[in-house]
C-alpha cells in the first residue's frame, strides 16, 4: 500500500488533471523517504520510492509546461490509529511474543510517550494546505529531522558511510 497506493492514485487521477491543466497532487511519503533508519528497510525502501515518484512526476510536469503541481508530504510522527488497524496485522498473524526493536523498550509505555509528541492529523492537514497554496514541493511536519537529513546528504556528498542514528523516533525522544 505504501508504494502501490500512490502509483494507482496517480494513474487514476493524473490524466484528468492533465486534461484540465490544473490541480495539485499531494503524495504522502514519510521522513523515511528522506532518511534510512535501522529495522525499517522495507518501509524505508517503499517511502524512498514514493519520494522518487513525486520528484520525477514534478519534473515531468514542469518539463511539459503543465500547470498541475505536485507536493511530497514527509511526515514524522502523526497521531493516527494505524497501529490499531487490523489490516496491519490480522489476528491470525499476530505474534504474542513480538518484541520491540532494541532501545524502544516496552511497547505499552512507548505508546503513551508517542501520544505526547505525535502531531495531530489536523495540524498536518493545515501544513499540507499551506504548502499547496504556496505551491511548495516539500512538506514536513517538524524540524527534528532536519539534521538527520543534512547528515545523510553530507555523507552522500563526501562519499562516506551512511550515518548510524538509532531508531526513527529517536529525535523525539532526545529533544
Burial pattern 50-69, b for ≥16 Cβ within 10 A else e, equals: bbebbbebbeebeeeebebb
The answer, yes or no, to whether residue 100 has pLDDT greater than 90, is no
Q: What is the average pLDDT across 1-21?
A: 95
Q: What pLDDT, on the 0 to 100 scale, is given for residue 2? A: 83
Quick one: pLDDT band at residue 129, thresholds 50, 70, 90? very high
Q: Is the pLDDT of residue 97 over 90?
A: no
Question: Which CATH architecture describes the domain 4-12+21-80+100-173?
Answer: 3-Layer(aba) Sandwich (3.40)
Q: Residue 65 has what pLDDT? A: 97
pLDDT of 57 strictly over 80: yes
H-run or E-run covering 69: strand 68-74
Residue 82 has pLDDT above 70, yes or no: no
Query: What does the pLDDT read at residue 173?
Result: 75
Contacts of 144 (CB under 8 A, 6+ apart): 76, 171, 172, 175
Percent of the residues in the chain that have a pLDDT greater than 70, as a whole number = 81
Look at 6-10, 79-83, 141-145 and tell me which has the smallest mean pLDDT.
Answer: 79-83
pTM: 0.82
Domain ranges of the chain: 4-12+21-80+100-173
Report the mean per-residue pLDDT for the chain: 86
Amino acid at each position: 500500500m505504501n508504494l502501490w497506493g500512490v502509483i494507482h492514485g496517480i494513474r487514476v487521477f493524473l490524466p484528468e488533471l492533465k486534461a484540465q491543466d490544473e490541480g495539485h497532487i499531494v503524495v504522502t511519503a514519510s521522513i523515511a523517504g528522506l532518511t534510512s533508519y535501522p529495522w525499517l528497510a522495507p518501509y524505508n525502501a517503499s517511502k524512498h520510492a514514493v519520494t522518487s515518484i513525486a520528484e520525477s512526476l514534478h519534473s515531468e510536469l514542469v518539463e511539459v509546461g503543465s500547470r498541475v503541481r505536485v507536493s511530497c508530504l514527509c511526515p514524522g510522527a502523526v497521531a493516527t490509529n494505524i497501529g490499531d488497524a487490523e489490516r496491519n496485522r490480522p489476528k491470525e498473524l499476530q505474534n504474542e511474543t513480538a518484541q520491540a526493536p532494541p532501545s524502544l523498550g516496552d511497547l505499552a509505555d512507548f505508546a503513551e510517550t508517542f501520544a505526547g509528541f505525535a502531531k495531530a492529523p489536523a495540524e498536518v492537514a493545515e501544513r499540507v494546505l499551506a504548502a499547496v497554496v504556496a505551491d511548495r514541493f516539500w512538506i514536513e511536519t517538524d524540524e527534528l529531522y532536519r539534521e538527520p537529513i543534512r547528515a545523510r546528504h553530507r555523507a552522500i556528498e563526501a562519499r562516506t558511510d551512511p550515518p548510524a542514528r538509532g531508531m526513527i523516533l529517536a529525535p523525539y525522544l532526545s529533544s
